[in-house]
Amino acid sequence: MSTENAAPEESAGAAQESAAAALPKAYDPKLVEDAIYARWEASGLFNPDNLPDLEGGKKRSEPFTIMMPPPNRTGILHVGHATGNALQDLMIRFNRMRGKRALWLPGTDHAAIATQVKVEGILREQGMKNPRRELGREKFLEEVVKFAADSGKTIVMQTRKMGASCDWSREAYTFDDARNRAVNRLFEMMHEDGLIERGDRIVNWDPKFQTTLSDDEVEMKETVARFLTFKYDRDFPIVISSTRPETKFGDTAVAVHPDDARYAAFVGKTFTPTFCGQKLTVRVIADREVDPEFGTGALGVTPAHSMIDADMAARQSPVLPTVQVIGTDGCMNDAVPEEYRGLTVKEARVKIEAALQAAGLLIAVEEIKQNLPVAERGGMPVEQLPMKQWFVRANKEFTLRQDTLGMWKKGERTTLKDLMREAVQSGQVKIMPEQFEKVYFHWIDNLRDWCISRQIWFGHRVPAWHRGEEIVVGAEKPSGDGWEQDPDTLDTWFSSGSWTFSTLGWPDKYAGGVKEGDLAKFHPTDVLETGRDILFFWIARMILMSTYALGEVPFKTAYLHGLVRDEQGRKMSKSLGNIIDPLVVSEKFGTDAVRLSLVLGNSPGNDMRISEEKIGYFRNFTNKLWNIARFVMMSAPGLARPSGRPEPKTLADRWILARLDATIASVSDDLEKLVLSRPGETLRDFTWNDLADWYLEIAKIEGGKDEMLSYVLSAVLKLWHPFMPFVTEEIWAHTFAAGKDDFLMVAEWPVATGAVADESDAKRFTKLQEIVTTIRNLRSTHKVEPGKRVDTYVFCGSDDAFIAEGELKIIATLAKAGQIHAAACGKSEGMPRPQHAASGMAGTTEVLISLEGLVDPAAEKARLQKEYDEAAKYVEVQSRKLDNADFVARAPEKVIALERQKLADAKEKAEKLTAQLDALK
C-alpha cells in the first residue's frame, strides 16, 4: 500500500498534470458509474470475508451488519427504496472504512398478497375475467412465479445502479428453500409451545381478494352512513340503532349499560322477535362497554360480524351463540329469509330499511360520519366473519425454550407480547427516533391474536396436514394415506419476521442453542433501517420472532426514515404524476447527487421533500468536488499518497489542518451515533467554504503546497466516500490509487491528529477573512472597477492579532488591493491616513480604501451612520445588561467576561465610526 518509492517526482508530476488536463471540466457520472460498480463487485470486497487486514496487519474483528429490507417483487424500486439504500450504504461504507467486518445482506420479498394481486391485475388487463378460476392453482402460480422472478431481477439491477455495496454472494429471497425451512421450523416450534393454534374466530375478510387480512392490513376510511333507529318488531320492548341493519339477522342479544335504569327490568330476559321475516332469539344483556348516551343506549349484538360484539358475547355466561348471515362472497347467506339471500350487503341494507319503513318500525334516520374498515390494499370494504384460521397468540403464556440463548431466562414463563415489550424497554433494541418507542408500546398493548393464514396461493404453504378431523403440524407429510396439506398460505410478514436470522443460516446453523457460522459472526445485526410505516408490520414482528426463536434481539437499532414527498409536500403517486423515479434522476444528475439529496436534510422519523432542483444542487456539488481534485492535480506536481500529516508552513496551513481535524472528529462522531444528515452538511461546508473558497485560493498565492494538498484532498475523498461513492472512487483512481485494485472503498477512515492551530492562529485567520471581506464590500458598494487596484489601509483594533507580511500579500491578492499599509495595535501613530477614502469596519479593525472621489458622499455617510447606529444601540444593550446587578451576581464568570469583551469591542467600533463620520465632513 505504499507509493512513496514510485516514480521520480518530476515525471510523476508531469504525468499528473497531463492526467488532470485529460479530465473533462465537468464530471460526467454516466461515463464512469457502471464501470466503477463492476470493479467493486469483481474485487469481492462487498463480502466481509474478503476484506483486507488493517494497517499494521491488524485483523478485522468487530462485525457491522445490516440486513437490507427486501423490496417487494412487485415491480420496480421507488424513491423510498433509494433513500433506504443511500442511508444503509452510508453506514456500511463508513464502518467498512473504520475497519469493521461490514456485511450488508441484500434480498427481495415475495410479498405474497401484494404480488398475487399485482399479477391478477395484469392478467385481468390481458382479458381474463377471473384468472384464479380460469387458470387453476398450479398454472396461476406459474404466472406469479414468473412475474416475481422478472421483478426480482429488475430490482437487483436497480440496487446495483444505486451503488449499494451489499454482499451479493449472500443474497436471499423470502420465498426460497432456506427461508421455507425457517418458516416451517418456526411454525412447528410455535405450535408445540401453544403459540400457534387453529381456531374459530372473527377475522377480517377481504371479499374482493377472497382472503383473510391481519388487523394491520385493515384501515379505517371515513364515510357517511345512514344511522337507523328502529325496533326488531312491534312487540320487542327496546329500540336500537344501527348503520348495518342487514347484520341484525345475526343478532343474538341486545346490550345495555348495567346502570341504565331504563332497561334494568329487561336484563337477563330472552325475547324472540321476528325481524324482517326472520325469527331471532335475543337475550338482553348488561355490559359496561355500552355507552348509555349514544343512540338509544341499547345496541343489537352481532357476534358473527363484529369483533367487539364477539368479545362482548364471550364475556357473557352462558356465552352468546353466533349466527353468521354474511358469506365469504360478501353476500347474505342462507341463514336469512329467502328474499334477502344472495343480495350484497349494500342491497340488503336498502331493502331492509324499506321493509322497516313499511312496517312502521323505523323511528328515525340520521346521516352520520362513520369509519368503515377497508383493505389497506385495494381500499374495498372488509367484512368481519367467523372463520376457522391459524392464529399466533400474543397473550398466551408459554415457557421459554431451553435452547434459546438466554438473553431472556430459559425456562421462564412469558408471553410474546412481553418479549416484544422487554426487548425495547431493556434498551437492547433502540428505536430511532426515540419517540417511536411510545408508539411501539402502545401498539403492543392493543395487539390481538395475529391471524396468519391466508387464502391466497402465492406464499409459504401452512405446514399442516389434514385427514378428516385429524391435523398434524410439520413440514413433511405424515405417513399413511389420505393426508392433504392445508391449502392456505402464511401471511408474508410471518416469513419476513425471521429475516435477520433466517438469512444467516437459522435453523440449520443453530444446533442446541449454539450459533454457528454467519449466525455466530453477524447476529444480532447492528442496524435495521427502514420506512417508519412498517414499524408494526415488520420491526415488531422481527423482534417477536427473534426473541422467541433465539432469545436474542434481531438488531440493536431500528432506524426509521420518513416518507419521501414531492417538493410541495405531497405523497408521490401515479395519479398525481409527481413520482420521482430514482433511476431516471440518477441518469440525469448522477447517482451521487441523488444519494446526497436523499441523505442531507433527512432526519429519522420525519418526512422529507425532494425535487429535481434539490438534486441539481447536489449535482453541482459533485462537480465542485471534481474540480477541486482537478485543481489539486494541476497545481501540485508532486501529488502523492500522503504517508502522514505534513508539516504546516504557514498560517493558512495550520488553519486548514485544524479545520480538517475538527471536521473529521465531528463527522466521525456523528456517523458513529447514526446521525447521518449533519455530517454531510458539515463536510459540504468544509469542502466548499473552507477548502475551495479560501484554502485553494491561498494555495495559488503561497505555492509549494504539494504535501498539504495531497493530504487534505485524500482525507476529503475518504470522508465523502460513504456519501458519494462513485465520484470519490473515480477521483481516487486518478490521484492516489496505487493500482487498479486499490480502492478508496477500503481505504482507512481518517483520524483526527490533534489540533495544530492554536487559538491565536484561528483568530488571526478569521481576522484575515474579515479584512478581505470588508475590502471587497467597500469596493463593491463604491463600484470600484473590477480590475483596479486601490491602496488600502488597515488599522488593527486593540484586541487584534498581529498581521504578518505573508498574510498581507494574501489579503492584497484576494481583495485585489494595491499597496497595503497595515499597522498592528498601538503602532499606527506614524501611519498616514488617506485623504480621500471609503472606510469600513472588520470587527474592531478599521479598513480604508483610497478613492479619488467618492461616488456618493451622502450615501457613504448614510451607510456609516447606519452602521454606527447599530453599534451604538448594541453598546446600550450591553451596558444595560452589565449594569444589572442580578446579571453580574448570578451569571457565570465566563459569560460575564464574554459580554464585557463584546461591550468593549462595540464601544471601540462606535468610536472609530464616529471618527470616520467626522472625516467625511
Partner RNA sequence: GGACGCUUAGCUCAGCUGGUUAGAGCACCUCGUUUACACCGAGGGGGUCGUAGGUUCGAAUCCUACAGCGUCCACCA
Positions in 361-390 near RNA (CB under 7 A): 368, 370-371
Positions in 508-537 near RNA (CB under 7 A): 533, 536
CA-to-CA separations, 543 to 108, 377, 401, 428, 431, in angstroms, rounded: 20, 25, 16, 11, 12
Binding of residue 818 to RNA (CB under 7 A) = no
CB of 131 to RNA, least distance (A): 31
Binds RNA (CB under 7 A): choice among 361, 608, 747, 838: 608
CB of 756 to RNA, least distance (A): 23
696: phi > 0 → left, psi -120 to 50 → alpha, else beta; which?
A: alpha
Positions in 783-802 near RNA (CB under 7 A): 786
How many Å apart are CA 737 and CA 508, to the nearest integer?
Answer: 42
Question: Looking at 6-14, 211-219, 413-421, 799-807, which segment touches RNA (CB under 7 A)?
Answer: 211-219
Considering the complex, state which of residue 172 and residue 431 has its C-beta at the smaller distance from RNA: 431
- DSSP string across 899-913: HHHHHHHHHHHHHHH
Considering the complex, state which of residue 260 and residue 748 has its C-beta at the smaller distance from RNA: 260
b/e code 696-722 from CB counts within 10 Å (16+ = b): bebbeebeebbbbbbbbbbbbbbbbbb
Q: What is the 3-state secondary structure (H, E, C) of 565-591?
A: ECCCCCECCCCCCCCCCHHHHHHHHCH
Considering the complex, state which of residue 278 and residue 878 has its C-beta at the smaller distance from RNA: 878
| Count of beta carbons in the 10 Å neighbourhood of residue 889 | 8
How many Å apart are CA 876 and CA 395, to the nearest integer?
Answer: 68
Considering the complex, state which of residue 439 and residue 917 has its C-beta at the smaller distance from RNA: 439
Binds RNA (CB under 7 A): choice among 71, 297, 497, 505: 297
Binds RNA (CB under 7 A): choice among 50, 485, 606, 760: 606
Binding of residue 398 to RNA (CB under 7 A) = no
Question: Looking at 293-301, 387-395, 404-412, 574-582, which segment touches RNA (CB under 7 A)?
Answer: 293-301
Q: Grid coordinates in use for 306?
A: 363484529
Question: Looking at 144-152, 511-519, 599-607, 823-831, which segment touches RNA (CB under 7 A)?
Answer: 599-607
Helix (H) or strand (E) run with residue 465 in it: strand 464-467
Pairing between β-strand 398-399 and β-strand 413-414 as defined by DSSP bridges: antiparallel
Positions in 436-495 near RNA (CB under 7 A): 438-439, 442-443, 446
Q: Which residue has the cell 461515463?
A: 31
How many Å apart are CA 502 and CA 494, to the nearest integer?
Answer: 12
**Close Cβ partners of 739 (under 8 Å, ≥ 6 residues apart):** none
Question: Looking at 5-13, 152-160, 284-292, 488-496, which segment touches RNA (CB under 7 A)?
Answer: 284-292
Query: Which residue type sits at 718?
Result: K
Considering the complex, state which of residue 428 and residue 773 has its C-beta at the smaller distance from RNA: 773
How many Å apart are CA 54 and CA 98, to the nearest integer?
Answer: 9
Binding of residue 122 to RNA (CB under 7 A) = no
CB of 759 to RNA, least distance (A): 18
268: phi > 0 → left, psi -120 to 50 → alpha, else beta; which?
A: left
Binding of residue 204 to RNA (CB under 7 A) = no
Binding of residue 692 to RNA (CB under 7 A) = yes
Question: Looking at 100-108, 136-144, 328-336, 892-900, which segment touches RNA (CB under 7 A)?
Answer: 892-900
- For 735, counting Cβ atoms within 10 Å of its Cβ (0-12 exposed, 13-18 middle, 19+ buried), the class is buried
Positions in 555-594 near RNA (CB under 7 A): 567, 569
Considering the complex, state which of residue 271 and residue 536 has its C-beta at the smaller distance from RNA: 536
CB of 778 to RNA, least distance (A): 9
Considering the complex, state which of residue 523 and residue 782 has its C-beta at the smaller distance from RNA: 782
Q: Grid coordinates in use for 114?
A: 401484494
b/e code 79-89 from CB counts within 10 Å (16+ = b): bbbbbbbbbbb
Binding of residue 666 to RNA (CB under 7 A) = no
β-sheet with 464-467: strand ranges across: 470-473, 464-467, 484-485
Binds RNA (CB under 7 A): choice among 148, 299, 336, 539: 299
Considering the complex, state which of residue 139 and residue 700 has its C-beta at the smaller distance from RNA: 700
CB of 219 to RNA, least distance (A): 7
Binding of residue 349 to RNA (CB under 7 A) = no
* # residues contacting RNA (CB under 7 A): 88
Binding of residue 603 to RNA (CB under 7 A) = yes
Instruction: Answer for the pair 728, 747: CB distance below 8 angstroms, yes or no.
Output: no
CA atoms in the 13 A half-sphere facing the CB of 665: 10
Binding of residue 267 to RNA (CB under 7 A) = no
Question: Looking at 118-126, 650-658, 744-752, 778-786, which segment touches RNA (CB under 7 A)?
Answer: 778-786
Binding of residue 855 to RNA (CB under 7 A) = no
Report the SS3 class of residue 127: coil
Binding of residue 18 to RNA (CB under 7 A) = no
β-sheet with 63-67: strand ranges across: 101-105, 63-67, 525-531, 555-561, 430-432
Positions in 24-53 near RNA (CB under 7 A): 25-28
Binding of residue 620 to RNA (CB under 7 A) = yes
Considering the complex, state which of residue 308 and residue 475 has its C-beta at the smaller distance from RNA: 308
Positions in 218-257 near RNA (CB under 7 A): 219-220, 227, 241-244
Dihedrals phi, psi of 377, to nearest 5 degrees: -100, 115
Binding of residue 773 to RNA (CB under 7 A) = yes
CB of 673 to RNA, least distance (A): 11
Considering the complex, state which of residue 168 and residue 227 has its C-beta at the smaller distance from RNA: 227
CA atoms in the 13 A half-sphere facing the CB of 805: 0
Binding of residue 886 to RNA (CB under 7 A) = yes
Instruction: Answer for the pair 65, 95: CB distance below 8 angstroms, yes or no.
Output: no
CB of 379 to RNA, least distance (A): 14
Considering the complex, state which of residue 170 and residue 619 has its C-beta at the smaller distance from RNA: 619
Binding of residue 421 to RNA (CB under 7 A) = no
Positions in 733-752 near RNA (CB under 7 A): none
Binding of residue 906 to RNA (CB under 7 A) = yes
| Count of beta carbons in the 10 Å neighbourhood of residue 219 | 14
CB of 531 to RNA, least distance (A): 11
Binding of residue 601 to RNA (CB under 7 A) = yes
Query: Closest Cα to residue 589, out of 27, 18, 135?
Result: 27
Considering the complex, state which of residue 409 and residue 789 has its C-beta at the smaller distance from RNA: 789
Dihedrals phi, psi of 397, to nearest 5 degrees: -75, 140
Pairing between β-strand 253-256 and β-strand 298-301 as defined by DSSP bridges: antiparallel
Question: Looking at 169-177, 205-213, 296-304, 486-494, which segment touches RNA (CB under 7 A)?
Answer: 296-304
Considering the complex, state which of residue 405 and residue 563 has its C-beta at the smaller distance from RNA: 563
Binding of residue 19 to RNA (CB under 7 A) = no
Considering the complex, state which of residue 182 and residue 699 has its C-beta at the smaller distance from RNA: 699
CA atoms in the 13 A half-sphere facing the CB of 165: 36
Dihedrals phi, psi of 895, to nearest 5 degrees: -65, -40
Binds RNA (CB under 7 A): choice among 189, 307, 350, 363: 307
Binds RNA (CB under 7 A): choice among 461, 521, 609, 907: 609
Distance from chain centroid for Cα 159 = 17
